[in-house]
Amino acid sequence: MKARIPGGQGGGQMAMMKRIQEMQAQMEQKQQEIENSTFTASAGGGAVEVTVTGAHEVKDIQLQPDVVDPEDIEMLADLLIAATNEAMRKADDAMEQAMGAFKSGLNLPF
């Protein structure tokens, strides 16, 4: 029969599991925070401004009156796409940075 040593290997595994569960809860909370945050980007020197959530939902689009040219709708579309893509990148970067902090805290080989 093997003797159990208080605080031995079994205790270390339990502590590790508890730490992982705590980190998972923190990650989920941070992920929710970022998904509920807004990110804004502009294009065309501020002529177009787009705000999105961390969950990639477009919340607002602001247009300067001089950018609305009925003769050049294509340019307006390009500016909207550019601003939207940049706002989405900001949201992705925030999520990646937050999750990277948790990964580095785990000291795992990936």
Which three-class secondary structure state does DSSP give residue 68?
A: coil
Gap between the terminal Cα atoms of the chain: 38
Is the Cβ–Cβ distance between 95 and 34 less than 8 Å? yes
Question: What's the pTM?
Answer: 0.74
In a domain, 22, yes or no: no
Q: What is the pLDDT of residue 80?
A: 96
In a domain, 7, yes or no: no
In a domain, 21, yes or no: no
Count: domains in the chain: 1
Residue located via tokens 């065309």: 44
Quick one: tokens of 99?
A: 């999750």
Domain of residue 97, CATH code: 3.30.1310.10
Which three-class secondary structure state does DSSP give residue 12?
A: helix
In a domain, 23, yes or no: no
Q: What would the mean pLDDT of 24-52 be, rounded to a whole number?
A: 95
Show the domain range for 71. 37-103
Q: CA-based Rg of the chain, rounded to a whole angstrom?
A: 23
Tens of pLDDT, residues 48-104: 999 999 999 999 999 999 989 899 999 999 999 999 999 999 999 999 998 888 777
More confident residue, 7 or 35: 35
Quick one: tokens of 27?
A: 């990650």
Q: What is the pLDDT of residue 107?
A: 60
In a domain, 43, yes or no: yes
